């Protein structure tokens, strides 16, 4: 596996994130499952980049290929994290590197964050396994979505840097 670095998203990432988001596998796992328009995506992406309560990190391989992204939305008592990978790298064992690396970058930029949460469809078994493997615990659900939580002070992620 190539080395992976993490950086904050920039407007030039809009096209890649749009492609990943509109992929049928991504849509099936998302809270919002409909296809989105380019104009709607650009409006959302520009707003997301300007939002002080939202961070988007892009995972980039050493050859400058973007391979995934993680978004963190700050809430009152935690930050909610979500992940999306480029379709070309799914199933290749890169998800845990991307999620761990993005969490590490987020913690460096936001050292006061004590807890992360995630909302996952129970049918998205790959994400369920990924988040549980990284120390997230299922809190419950409503049948359509399950909520997961991870206390960063007690998690296996504490002080962990991805092996990249």
Closest CA to 98 of 106, 112, 53: 106
> Residue written as tokens 């391979």?
67
**75 vs 68 pLDDT, higher one:** 68
pLDDT (average), residues 54-76: 94
3-42 pLDDT, tens digit each: 899 999 999 999 999 999 988 888 888 888 888 999 999 9
So what's the pLDDT on residue 157? 58
So what's the pLDDT on residue 112? 85
Length of the chain: 164
Q: Domains in the chain, please, with CATH?
A: 4-151 (3.40.630.30)
How many other CB atoms are found less than 10 A from the CB of residue 121? 17
90-147 pLDDT, tens digit each: 989 899 999 999 999 999 999 888 899 999 999 999 999 999 999 999 999 998 999 9
Q: Over 90: is that where the pLDDT of 43 sits?
A: yes
> Across the beta sheet with 115-120, what order do the strands follow?
4-8, 54-61, 66-74, 79-85, 115-120, 146-151, 137-141
So what's the pLDDT on residue 158? 45
């Amino acid at each position: 596996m190539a080395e992976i670095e993490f950086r904050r998203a920039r407007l030039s990432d809009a096209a890649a994130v749009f492609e990943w988001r509109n992929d049928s596998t991504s849509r099936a796992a998302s809270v919002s499952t409909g296809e989105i328009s380019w104009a709607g995506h650009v409006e959302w992406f520009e707003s997301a980049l300007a939002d002080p309560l939202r961070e988007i990190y892009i995972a980039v391989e050493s050859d400058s290929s973007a391979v995934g992204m993680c978004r963190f939305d700050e809430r009152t008592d935690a930050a909610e994290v979500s992940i999306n990978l480029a379709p070309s790298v799914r199933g290749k064992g890169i998800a845990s590197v991307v999620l761990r690396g993005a969490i590490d970058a987020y913690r460096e930029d936001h050292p006061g964050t004590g807890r992360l949460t995630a909302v996952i469809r129970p049918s998205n078994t790959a994400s369920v396994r990924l988040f549980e493997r990284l120390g997230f615990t299922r809190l419950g659900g409503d049948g359509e979505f399950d909520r997961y939580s991870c206390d960063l002070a007690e998690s296996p992620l504490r002080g962990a840097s991805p092996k990249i």
